[in-house]
Amino acid sequence: MSTVVVAYELGGAGRQVVRDALEGAAEAIHLPDLDSAGRADALRKADAVLARTTRELLPGEIALLQNIRLLQFFTAGVDHVPLADLPTGVPVANNAGAYAEPMAEHALGMALAAAKRLLVEHAALSRGEFNQFAPNRMLAGGVCGILGFGGIGVAMARLTRGIGMKVHAINRRGRSEEPTDWIGTPDQLDLLLAASDVLVICTPLTPATLGMIGAPQLARMKSDAILVNVARGEIVDERALYDRLVAFPNFCACIDAWWIEPVRHGAFRMDQPFLSLPNVIGSPHNSAAAIAETGVAGLQRAIANIRRALAGERPLNLVAPEDRMM
């Protein structure tokens, strides 16, 4: 039977999910349970490894991964993981789409809050202002532009289509089995920006997407567009976005993914005072907050991909060398 090493601590419920998902295909070995000799032996014999980050491995253990069929990460974003330290040729997969449904709900919730001026009017009510006839916006009939049409993008398309929006999207292939009203490739970004009433950024951070949305791109957007970022802050130029928000008060930004965050950088910091602006809605990158149901689904999707590798099939969501940030 094949062996899957789980590199990080999982509680009893999580271990049961892994056992059930691997049943008949592989045995799970949990690295935190072992002493240093046992860890090294397990990693040498592993057919696949499930990890959150390579930092869970002790010095010298990364070199022991050279013969595994797959290093599967539990998280969707691996831009902060030092993949350059891995032995050459180790297949790496992220868990893209693991939290697609809650992230799409979060993005839509933020967009609706911006369109309906919920936070603005809540603050006004607290000041005694009753702006009953201040206009807000309908999203139905508008265009939801989706930059990154993977699992999250598809989930977002289904929700926005359900409220009557048209769906425009970009992915690398310029095609998808999921219905869209228009789909293009990254070189057609300007068309997506110009058409979007709501722009949802859910593409991975790679060398190609770093700084992808700067001042020229923001200038191509509608003056009252709503930008929602549930991906990575670094995809958007921080100062350019702030300047756009100041210059166009009807332009809104819903920021879930920030430029400096505790998990990736050890602190939360912004270089521009976004939260002082009325046309900004912020959340603490919790669009994928791991409620019990989501955590189970994420584990199941990660293990399903490991099973593909163990069966000799091509795993999903492989991270190509040119897409690796570290």
The residues that are catalytic are 232, 261, 285
In angstroms, the CA 40 to CA 212 distance is 41
C-alpha torsion 179→316→296→286, nearest 10: -70
The 3-state DSSP class for residue 261 equals coil
In angstroms, the CA 123 to CA 196 distance is 28
Task: Extract the tokens encoding 86.
Answer: 């891995």
Those residues with Cβ within 8 angstroms of residue 4's Cβ, 6 or more apart along the chain or in another chain: 18, 22, 26, 27, 28, 29, 46, 47, 48, 49, 50, 303, 306, 310
CA distance readout (Å), 197 to 111, 144, 157, 165 = 10, 6, 14, 9
* Residue where the block lists tokens 């949990």: 30
* Residue where the block lists tokens 């990890």: 51
- Of 283, 244, 315, the C-alpha closest to 119 is 283
Rounded to the nearest 5 percent, the helix, strand and coil shares of the chain are 40, 15, 45
Other beta carbons within 10 Å of 58: 12
Angle at 204 between CA 265 and CA 244, to 5 degrees: 80
Q: Decide if 204 contacts 323 (C-beta within 8 A).
A: yes
Task: Extract the tokens encoding 79.
Answer: 């831009």
Residue 188 Cα to chain centre, angstroms: 22
Q: Decide if 77 contacts 205 (C-beta within 8 A).
A: yes
